[in-house]
Amino acid sequence: MKISVVIPVYNEKATILDLIKKVESVNLEKEIILVDDCSTDGTREILKSLGDNKYKIFFQERNSGKGAALRTGFDHVTGDIVIVQDADLEYDPNEYGRLIEPILHGKADVVFGSRFLAGPHRVHLFWHYLGNKMLTTLSNIFTNLNLTDMETCYKVFKAEILKSLNLKSNRFGFEPEFTAKIAKRKYRIYEVPISYYGRDYSEGKKITWKDGIIAIWCIIRYRLMD
């Protein structure tokens, strides 16, 4: 099966080339789709220098958020399985094999890579951890799922699922929206443990408490409306 790795990018000059190398080194048939969300730190120029022969690279006309960048990338997917990959090196592409395994074995339609099951992870930012757990619990209440990590970057799914979702969220609301919509459609969902190399705000972390408020709104909205 062919893998489509969709990478939203915003101001990741320090990590983007290393991340691309890590994705390339994964021994799977794949395409790499990069969407720059109007970076201002030089990331855009780095991507332009790569050319478009080896990768699919797209440039947003204005900064619109992770969800908007992902929708652009999803529009150009040609693989059988889609993997969402952040550009900040917090998540390890070497775990793609583990993530796609339930799909390849015919057991799952969607796989979440959970940072809270058993994998090694950096110990830091208690309030960020607590916020993640609270949002996951609230999402579970509304979706009747028992996920341990709704907010994880690693969402892996059959590409055909995209046709049924009609995603709308522009920023980090993508996470609860995607979760709510796959739950409504009764897709088979698995979780697998992943490692997590989290960074703090001085290292470029972007999600804030404001995104947590938006996530709560999205959890409620996409449970009641589709």
Q: Decide the pairing of beta strands 81-84 and 110-114.
A: unpaired
- pLDDT the model gives residue 217: 83
Q: Are 103 and 24 in contact (CB under 8 A)?
A: no
- Domain CATH number, residue 191: 3.90.550.10
Q: Would the pLDDT of 117 be above 70?
A: yes
The residue-averaged pLDDT of 50-70 equals: 91
Structure-model confidence comparison of residues 52 and 38, the more confident one: 38
Q: How many domains does the chain have?
A: 1
Q: Would the pLDDT of 224 be above 90?
A: no
Q: Which residues contact 177 (CB under 8 A, 6 or more apart)?
A: 67, 167, 168, 169, 218, 222
Name the pLDDT band for 176 (thresholds 50, 70, 90).
very high
- pLDDT the model gives residue 131: 82
* Torsion sign across C-alpha atoms 198, 41, 84, 49: negative
Query: Rounded to two decimals, what is the model's pTM?
Result: 0.89
- pLDDT the model gives residue 173: 87
Q: Are 99 and 194 in contact (CB under 8 A)?
A: yes
Domain span at residue 86 reads 3-224
The residue-averaged pLDDT of 120-146 equals: 84
Answer left, alpha or beta for residue 18, where phi above 0 means left and psi between -120 and 50 means alpha.
Answer: alpha
